[in-house]
């Protein structure tokens, strides 16, 4: 099994996820074709609180809106899904993911504003949410960007390693 690891340039922040989780996100992107899609990321932090481990990404909630250039994530069914993931894996909300079909995985200004709002929202209890964006063609050539938001300047992570575990 492959393990993807992303880090900031200083090695302060790290995010990792297994290839199976990425494959499930790519399948959702393929199903949406030329429309944006997305969901939330769940997982946990290591004991040192330096690494986020993403274990799952939700599908788009039923009340989401998909267009070629925008994705409005709904909430229908997320509470039940989060409760189930917590019972089974002790995983909790870590951030958001979405797909830029046949375009760059670079975050937009809209993405930045939305993630800064999530970071600042005390009711969400996630001061450093992760944003994972998939861009390109999910069935062949795609790219991934990973960014952490901490209320200051977003911290972009780079693909550091892919390990066989």
CATH label of the domain that carries residue 21: 3.40.140.10
50 falls within a domain: yes
The torsion of the CA quartet 150, 59, 102, 94, rounded to 10 degrees, works out to 10
Q: Does residue 164 fall inside a structural domain?
A: no
Q: How many structural domains does the chain have?
A: 1
Residue 18 in domain: yes
Local confidence band at 165 (pLDDT 50, 70, 90 cut-offs): low
- Catalytic site includes residue 36: yes
Cβ proximity of 153 and 8 under 8 Å: no
> Nearest 5°: phi and psi at 30?
-60, -40
Q: Which residues contact 130 (CB under 8 A, 6 or more apart)?
A: 15, 41, 52, 54, 94, 95, 96, 146, 147, 148
pLDDT, tens digit, 9 for 90 and up, residues 50-102: 899 999 999 999 999 999 999 999 999 999 999 999 999 999 999 999 999 99
> By residue range, what is the domain housing residue 124?
2-93+102-159
* Single pTM value for the model: 0.93
CA distance 83 to 92: 9
58 within a domain of the structure (yes/no): yes
| Residue 160's pLDDT band (cuts 50, 70, 90) | confident
68 located within any domain: yes
| CA proximity to 17, closest of 125, 163, 142 | 163
Q: Does residue 80 lie in a domain region?
A: yes
List 36, 83, 152, 163, catalytic entry: 36
Q: Does residue 165 fall inside a structural domain?
A: no
Which residues have CB under 8 Å from 10's CB, separation 6+?
A: none
Q: Has residue 119 been placed in a domain?
A: yes
């Amino acid at each position: 099994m492959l393990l993807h690891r992303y880090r900031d340039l200083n090695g302060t922040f790290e995010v990792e996820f297994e290839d199976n989780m990425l494959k499930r996100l790519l399948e959702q992107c393929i199903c949406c074709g030329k429309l944006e899609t997305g969901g939330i990321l769940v997982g946990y932090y290591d004991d040192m609180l330096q690494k986020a481990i993403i274990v799952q990404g939700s599908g788009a909630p039923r009340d989401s809106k998909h267009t070629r250039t925008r994705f409005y994530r709904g909430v229908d069914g997320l509470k039940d899904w989060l409760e189930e993931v917590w019972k089974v894996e002790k995983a909790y909300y870590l951030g958001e993911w979405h797909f830029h079909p046949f375009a760059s995985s670079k975050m937009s200004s809209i993405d930045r504003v939305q993630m800064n709002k999530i970071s600042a929202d005390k009711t969400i209890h996630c001061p450093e949410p992760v944003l994972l964006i998939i861009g390109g063609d999910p069935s062949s050539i795609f790219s991934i960007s990973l960014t952490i938001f901490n209320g200051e300047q977003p911290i972009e992570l780079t693909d550091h390693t892919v390990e066989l575990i």
